[in-house]
Structure 1
Amino acid sequence: MGSAVQPNDRSEGPERKCIATGEVRPKSELIRFVVGPEAQIVADVAAKLPGRGIWVTASRDALEKAVAKGLFKRAAKQHVNVPEDLVAQVESMLARRVIDLISLSRKGGGAVSGYEKVKDWLSKEEAVALIQARDGSERGKSKLSTPHRGKFIGWLTANELGQAFGRQTTIHAALRAGGLAQRVVEEAQRLKGLRAPDGGSSRRKGK
């Protein structure tokens, strides 16, 4: 079942060049920016805003470099205003996208929360992704393993994950194949680059 959610194939889909690293990557691994009103740099995480796109790898280091070295101005070929909290804005926007996508998955029957329900999906090999709150008990989280060939998402907080399920907090959740699963995984991967200090490495068994 886990094979339904695979890493991006670099040979497929459109690619763009990151202004900070110089690397060419699939668009799903980058964040698009445009020059908005009053020459302000605006994060376009959905890649739908009009205008010429400026692309940066979805990582805190790349974004901080782009801001610190004035790379947005160089890429735009004009004076631009870069918000001081641009990196924090992008992180917040990506977190919101992941939360909303998980919520939509839940409403469509593609996501469940709660230890017992998640354990049941895992045991029946229905889950393709295990989601656990970054601030949940490590002892409790260690009792569940990532599906074989599946994905692990572990950088949302319990409060954020709770929002996706209409609860105050949630520690354990899972996605099943199909529906929005692939989009959740891709958006969560971008968020990981902004949030996880070690690049998002996980000790979760079966990763």
Structure 2
Amino acid sequence: MTRGGREKLRDEPERKCIASGEVSPKAGLIRFVIGPEAMVVPDVAAKLPGRGLYVAADRALIARAVAKGLFARAARQPVKAPPDLAEMVEALVARRVLDLLSMARKAGDAVTGYEKVKEWLEKGQARVLIQAADGSERGKTKLRAPEGENTLISCLTAGEIGLAFGRERAIHAALAAGGLTTRVVEEAARLAGLRASASETGQRDGGNPAGKDTKDA
């Protein structure tokens, strides 16, 4: 198991984290490049030109790389890294998770709402269960994730899940098998790593808990 909760696959390309020194699959790392004016730029989609510098999807490690000047050391040149770089990366990865989840919804591969999610789980249609980090524990125990690895996503808030489904808040969601689901799981694993050492989820979502679990939430 790698940082961020991803299972290491034998043939995945690997890179070394400049903060920890560990070698891990690229999919579980955050890529950075040196942009204009020698600024460190997060490249969460791994598409920007230039030499990549990699840090594990871990908030504390990104903060360490900034504080100790590890980007400059790895790039072998003076660079500027924003002090809030870890927060920037978290926001970018969260946006990717929500965009992919929204795409899965539009493709008919994702549903929300207690009854719909329960039906998908009972029929074996659900590959992944998504439950809001700030949802009531009592409500979340009513549904069980499918058997297997990487079948539960619990790093999103109710507000974030709701945003992906075009509603104010949502506590439960499910994903069917498919290419988009694999990408959602991978990005969610990175987000979980970035949020593992952050403040409690309720503080990130304006301090409002998801509230009472309901059948249409």
Aligned residue for 1:142? Answer: 141
Aligned residue for 2:183? Answer: 183
1:197 deviates by 3.4
Instruction: Tell me which amino acid in the other structure corresponds to 2:134.
Output: D
> 1:32-62 CA distances to partner (integer Å, 9 max, x unpaired)?
0000111000000000000000000001121
**TM-score, with normalisation over the residues of structure 1?**
0.90
**8 Å CA contact 1:105, 1:179 repeated in 2:** no
Aligned residue for 2:154? Answer: 154
Instruction: Tell me which amino acid in the other structure corresponds to 1:33.
Output: F
Structure 1 Cα separation of the partners of residues 139 and 129 of structure 2: 14
Calculate percent identity across the aligned residue pairs.
Answer: 62
Structure 2 Cα separation of the partners of residues 82 and 36 of structure 1: 11
Structure 2 Cα separation of the partners of residues 21 and 11 of structure 1: 21
Structure 2 Cα separation of the partners of residues 120 and 10 of structure 1: 32
1:140 deviates by 0.7
Structure 2 Cα separation of the partners of residues 9 and 134 of structure 1: 25
Give unmatched runs, 5+ long, in structure 1.
1-6, 199-207
Structure 2 Cα separation of the partners of residues 134 and 69 of structure 1: 32
**8 Å CA contact 1:34, 1:54 repeated in 2:** yes
5 Å-filtered alignment, 1:97-176, equals 97-150=96-149, 151-176=151-176
1:8 deviates by 3.9
5 Å-filtered alignment, 1:1-207, equals 8-150=7-149, 151-197=151-197
> 1:46-83 CA distances to partner (integer Å, 9 max, x unpaired)?
00000000000001121121111110000111111101
**TM-score, with normalisation over the residues of structure 2?**
0.86
Structure 1 Cα separation of the partners of residues 145 and 85 of structure 2: 33
User: What SS does the corresponding residue of 1:12 show, helix, strand or coil?
Assistant: coil
Give unmatched runs, 5+ long, in structure 2.
1-5, 199-217
User: What SS does the corresponding residue of 1:25 show, helix, strand or coil?
Assistant: strand
Structure 2 Cα separation of the partners of residues 21 and 197 of structure 1: 16
Instruction: Tell me which amino acid in the other structure corresponds to 2:19.
Output: A
1:196 deviates by 2.3
Instruction: Tell me which amino acid in the other structure corresponds to 1:112.
Output: V
1:9 deviates by 3.7
**8 Å CA contact 2:60, 2:197 repeated in 1:** no
Cα RMSD (Å): 1.2
Which ranges of 4 or more aligned residues in structure 1 deviate by more than 3 Å?
Answer: 7-10
> 1:83-125 CA distances to partner (integer Å, 9 max, x unpaired)?
1110000000010000000000000011000000000000011
Structure 2 Cα separation of the partners of residues 129 and 59 of structure 1: 23
Instruction: Tell me which amino acid in the other structure corresponds to 1:176.
Output: A
Structure 2 Cα separation of the partners of residues 121 and 16 of structure 1: 38
User: What SS does the corresponding residue of 2:124 show, helix, strand or coil?
Assistant: coil
Structure 2 Cα separation of the partners of residues 195 and 13 of structure 1: 24
User: What SS does the corresponding residue of 1:127 show, helix, strand or coil?
Assistant: coil
Structure 2 Cα separation of the partners of residues 62 and 83 of structure 1: 14
**8 Å CA contact 1:91, 1:195 repeated in 2:** yes
**8 Å CA contact 1:110, 1:179 repeated in 2:** no
